[in-house]
Amino acid sequence: MGKLKLSLKYKLLFFLTFIPACALVFYLWLAVKLFSEDKEAYVYGSNVTLSKAIGAQISSELNAHIESLLPIVAQYDPQAEQLREEAKLIFSKQKKISYVSFNKFQGDKFSEKVFLEKEDFKKEKDYSLAFKHKQQLLTESKKKGIAFKALGEKSPYVMMALGDASNTIFFVSYVPQILNVLNASANVSNYLISGEGHIEMRPNENDVFTAETNTITYFNEPQWTGINEGSAEYGGGTNTVLSSFARVGVSDLRVISLVDKQFALLGVRNLIKKSVYSLIMILCVTIFLSLFVSNSLTSTLRLLFQATKDVAQGNFNIQLKVQSSDEVGGLSESFNTMAKEVSRLLIESSQKARMEGELATAKTVQETLFPPAIATVGNIEICGYYQPASECGGDWWHYCEIGEHVYIWIGDATGHGAAAALITSAARSAAAVIENFSEIAPSQILALVNNSIHSTSKGKMMMTFFLAAIHRKTGQVTYCNASHESPFILRNKRPLDKSDLEIMDQTNGPRLGHEKNSAYPEATAQLNDGDMVLFYTDGVPELHNTENKTWGERRYIKAIFEATEKETLSEFHDVLKLKMEDFRSGRELKDDVTFVVIRFKQAAAQQLSA
């Protein structure tokens, strides 16, 4: 038996855990993917909304400062290039504008004509920066109509320039509200940037960029041109951010809102963590259940496997305990039945082998009961044929010489097999004793054999019998019949027809062994030179072929006529035997088959008498 590479238990365990595990992992992956996509979409939507809201507040704040500047601008006389006194009063009362100047483009630059400023602004540390970028803003406003720049990335002051090709107003506004708006979101970093991507104002906290980084190039790609809002992912690895923008509507300013992707998807990581814990728990339960199921399914199979190994080693005394009512339980019951049946068959086979051996011995012994098949006794030629239907047959034939007579014995015990063989043995034993007599009549012989068989079988087994005593000199045949098939006398005439076929049926008596004191009357017949006598048992005409047809008397007699065309007695024997075998075509015999043919020779008898 080949060595197992992988137990069925582990195969079942593998499939019962692997398939659910794959399904759960796929579900986890799909859930995380969908949740991540949904979360990103939510963050993008929230960021865009936030960017728009911040942009709207900044736009509102800057426009409010521009409107607060208008009363002062109304007090400026561009012809005289002077401010009226009311302008100073208005400037001093308002709190939004910290510095304002009126400029005129002359030559290749702007020159300041008049300005107003507040004392507290002059104390700011970035005061000088306002004048550093003044010319730049004035030039930009000439092109754009309005220019903007923060005094510092975290400064509450911003610079703006408003004007046309010749006159431009430059002013500095105090806008702490813009910084407050940029710092309002705890988890989102909001930036105010210029059209070129320069950071104008940044939050005090949650700043995702280093201080050295003063530009943001997000959304500078051509596809964002002319679009007022949008969102996209930038960066890579641990520096990936979810970005959104919205245009302010003042100059080319934009608000960009950034959220760290890892932080935004923190809920996803928590979901993954909890899902992994749940997955592990489910897998543990699955493995436990799989172990239970695989054990329950394969425990009986393991017992069956071990039982088959025991059977292979010759141990059939095995009975498995059936623990289930499913197919495996049915298989166990079938195995138990098979083991019992095999054990029974082995016992029967052993007994059959013993019986066959005994029958073979009996067959060997029975073969000694028959004389040589071909013989010449005085002037009488003898040729016999015998084939039993089983190892031991119930047919028996014999010949012997007693005084001036040659005796031909032929009998058929009831059935065939060992019991019938015992009857033939009793008949042969009686014949062995009778052969020592000097003279004895056929009727006396059958009476003695009948008594022997009846004593042996107690009337339960019987035997048909025909006994003929042929006088060697005269050819006279004295015979007795105990319910046996009557022989045929075949006269020495060729060709032979049915009228030349004589039946020795002048007397008949009960079967041997039927009653203890049965009598068997005699009859006579005369044989001439060359005449033959054919003795046979009922198995000859009752032969069956493969189509279950019987040979019958008609075919039998026809075969006899064809056999008489041969010269010698052995040729007659061979032809008749061949006809029987051709008809039978290998069909198993139902009864024993026996025939004996003799030929009387008158010339040889005269020579013997001389």
Map tokens 């400037």 to a residue: 91
Cα 356–chain centre separation: 46
**Range in 111-115, 176-180, 301-305 with the lowest mean pLDDT:** 301-305
Distance CA 72, CA 451 (A): 167
pLDDT tens string 178-206: 888 888 877 788 888 888 888 888 887 76
Question: In the prediction, which pLDDT does 459 show?
Answer: 82
Token pair of 128 as six digits: 């000088």
**Where residue 606 falls among pLDDT bands split at 50, 70, 90?**
low
Residue 457 to residues 355, 392, 395, 600, Cα–Cα distance (Å):
21, 17, 16, 36
Domain limits of the chain?
369-609
Sign of CA dihedral 28, 30, 31, 33: positive
Whether the pLDDT of residue 308 is over 80: the answer is no
**Percentage of the chain surpassing pLDDT 70?**
87
Identity of the amino acid at 462? M
**Where residue 29 falls among pLDDT bands split at 50, 70, 90?**
confident
Question: In the prediction, which pLDDT does 491 show?
Answer: 92
Question: In the prediction, which pLDDT does 549 show?
Answer: 92
Question: In the prediction, which pLDDT does 609 show?
Answer: 54
pLDDT tens string 434-493: 999 888 999 999 999 999 999 888 888 899 999 999 999 999 999 999 999 999 999 988
Whether the pLDDT of residue 595 is over 90: the answer is yes
List b or e across 295-310, with b for residues whose CB sees 16 or more CB atoms inside 10 angstroms.
eebbebeebbeebeee
Rounded to 5 degrees, what are φ and ψ at 109? -155, 175
Contact 274, 265 (CB under 8 A): no
Question: In the prediction, which pLDDT does 320 show?
Answer: 65
Token pair of 399 as six digits: 């010949």
Whether the pLDDT of residue 299 is over 70: the answer is no
- Residue 164 falls in which region: left (phi positive, over 0), alpha (psi -120 to 50) or beta: beta
306 versus 120: the higher-pLDDT residue is 120
Question: In the prediction, which pLDDT does 472 show?
Answer: 92
- Beta strand 109-117 pairing with 97-106: antiparallel
- Beta strand 189-193 pairing with 254-260: antiparallel
Question: In the prediction, which pLDDT does 328 show?
Answer: 66
Question: In the prediction, which pLDDT does 6 show?
Answer: 61
**Where residue 410 falls among pLDDT bands split at 50, 70, 90?**
very high
Q: Kindly state the average pLDDT of the residues 291-299.
A: 68
**Where residue 127 falls among pLDDT bands split at 50, 70, 90?**
confident
Query: Which class for 400: exposed (0-12), middle (13-18), buried (19 or more C-beta within 10 A)?
Result: middle
Question: In the prediction, which pLDDT does 142 show?
Answer: 80
Whether the pLDDT of residue 605 is over 70: the answer is no
Distance CA 172, CA 150 (A): 9
**Percentage of the chain surpassing pLDDT 90?**
27
Contact 158, 149 (CB under 8 A): yes
- Beta strand 199-201 pairing with 189-193: antiparallel
For 108, how many CA atoms within 13 A lie in the half-sphere containing its CB?
A: 0
Question: In the prediction, which pLDDT does 39 show?
Answer: 72
Question: In the prediction, which pLDDT does 371 show?
Answer: 93
Distance CA 423, CA 463 (A): 8
**Where residue 104 falls among pLDDT bands split at 50, 70, 90?**
confident
Residue 562 to residues 323, 329, 594, Cα–Cα distance (Å):
73, 68, 19
Whether the pLDDT of residue 424 is over 60: the answer is yes
**Where residue 603 falls among pLDDT bands split at 50, 70, 90?**
low
Q: Kindly state the average pLDDT of the residues 273-277.
A: 79
Contact 156, 93 (CB under 8 A): no
Q: What is the mean pLDDT of the chain?
A: 84
Fold of domain 369-609: Phosphatase 2c; domain 1 (3.60.40)
Could you tell me the pTM of the whole model?
Answer: 0.49
Question: In the prediction, which pLDDT does 275 show?
Answer: 76
pLDDT tens string 314-360: 676 776 676 666 666 666 677 677 767 777 777 787 777 777 766 66
- Max mean pLDDT among 42-46, 120-124, 406-410 falls in 406-410
Token pair of 568 as six digits: 């010698």
Rounded to 5 degrees, what are φ and ψ at 257? -115, 130
Whether the pLDDT of residue 267 is over 80: the answer is no
- Sequence-distant contacts of 301-310: CB under 8 A, at least 24 apart: 301/8, 301/328, 302/9, 303/332, 304/331, 304/332, 304/335, 307/335, 307/339, 308/1, 309/1
**Per-position DSSP letters for 161-198, written without gaps between them:** EEE-SSEEEEEEEE-HHHHHHHT--SS-EEEEE-TT-B
Question: In the prediction, which pLDDT does 144 show?
Answer: 82
Question: In the prediction, which pLDDT does 19 show?
Answer: 80
358 versus 516: the higher-pLDDT residue is 516
Distance CA 198, CA 179 (A): 16
**Where residue 278 falls among pLDDT bands split at 50, 70, 90?**
confident
Question: In the prediction, which pLDDT does 346 show?
Answer: 74
Q: Report which of 113, 119, 131, 111 is spatially closest to residue 76, judged by C-alpha positions.
A: 113
Q: Report which of 514, 430, 493 is spatially closest to residue 467, judged by C-alpha positions.
A: 430
- Max mean pLDDT among 65-69, 140-144, 377-381 falls in 377-381
